[in-house]
């Protein structure tokens, strides 16, 4: 019986800025639900750049935030998080209790449906894709790249799916070092993690971090895949 390849959780770094100007990329998933204004207001008031991965579901229910993101291309890079927040895995499997797409055709629809919604909302054509759960099969990673995307990995998990407490999330952000890509969530306004994410962003700025967008600082050579836990 053929053994299935393990799911992969891609690691991503951006180019280093050096001791004098360490560079960190903040990436925030907007999966569904509403916008965490604690985080959005921190990004705006502190002038912090961030790459926001949006789903079609989130776009439909957050028109005010969509307008803000579109109005500040200097701060926000908006990228593809899929159509329905389904793991982009091309075989039947459950990831964190979420049923995966299950076939190459369903992966393609998840990716392309997210892009269609972005274009319909007036966003530029996306270049990066991050699937729900950020886990993939090796073959689905190949498929996504063939569709024209780089895969939005990360190197620091800032909020563990927005399930951490405020103090824990803030400590996770403290781990970010020169070249790291931080993942967190901007769609859980009732979770304590959002408070920690906002505090962590301010702390990184106070440390002298330069915040960069993936489009400005990441390259395919910085991306590697490691087995998912």
Q: What is the pLDDT of residues 47-100, one digit of tens each?
A: 999 999 999 999 999 999 999 999 999 999 999 999 999 999 999 999 999 999
Residue 85 lies in a domain: yes
Q: What is the mean pLDDT of the chain?
A: 94
State the CATH number of the domain containing residue 57.
3.20.20.370
Residue 104 lies in a domain: yes
Residue 159 lies in a domain: yes
Domain residue limits at 56: 8-227
Residue 60 lies in a domain: yes
The total of structural domains in the chain comes to 1
Does residue 30 register a pLDDT over 60? Answer: yes
Percent of the chain with pLDDT over 90: 90
Q: What is the pLDDT of residues 118-174, one digit of tens each?
A: 999 999 999 999 999 999 999 999 999 999 999 999 999 999 999 999 999 999 999
Residue 2 lies in a domain: no
SS (H, E, C) the chain: CCCCCCCEEEEEECCCCCCCCCEEEEEEEECCCCCCHHHHHHHHHCCCCEEEEECHHHHHHCHHHHHHHHHCCCCEEEEECCCCCCCCCCCCCEECCEECCCCHHHHHHHHHHHHHHHHHCCCCCCCEECCHHHCECHHHHHHHHHCCCEECCECEECCCCCCCCHHHHHHHHHCCCCCEEEEEECCCCCCCHHHHHHHHHHHHHHCCCEEECHHHHCCHHHEEEEECC
Looking at residue 87, what is its pLDDT?
Answer: 97
pTM (predicted TM-score): 0.93
Residue 1 lies in a domain: no
Residue 3 lies in a domain: no
Residue 113 lies in a domain: yes
């Amino acid at each position: 019986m053929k053994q299935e390849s393990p799911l992969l959780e891609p690691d991503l770094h951006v180019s280093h800025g050096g001791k004098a100007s360490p560079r960190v990329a903040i990436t925030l998933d907007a999966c569904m639900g509403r916008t965490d204004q604690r985080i959005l207001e921190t990004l705006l008031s502190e002038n912090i750049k961030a790459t926001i991965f949006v789903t079609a579901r989130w776009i439909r229910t957050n028109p005010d935030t969509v307008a803000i993101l579109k109005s500040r291309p200097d701060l926000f890079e908006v990228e593809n998080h899929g159509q329905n927040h389904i793991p982009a895995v091309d075989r039947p499997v459950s990831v964190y209790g979420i049923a995966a797409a299950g076939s190459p055709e369903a992966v393609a629809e998840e990716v392309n449906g997210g892009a269609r919604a972005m274009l319909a909302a007036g966003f530029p054509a996306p270049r990066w894709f991050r699937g729900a759960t950020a886990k993939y099969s090796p073959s689905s990673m190949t498929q996504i790249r063939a569709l024209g995307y780089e895969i939005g990995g990360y190197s620091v998990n800032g909020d563990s799916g927005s399930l951490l407490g405020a103090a824990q999330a803030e400590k996770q952000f403290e781990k970010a070092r020169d070249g790291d890509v931080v993942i967190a969530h901007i769609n859980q306004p009732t979770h304590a993690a959002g408070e920690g994410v906002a505090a962590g962003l301010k702390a990184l700025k106070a440390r002298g971090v330069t915040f960069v967008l993936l489009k400005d600082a990441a390259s395919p050579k910085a991306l590697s895949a490691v087995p998912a836990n």
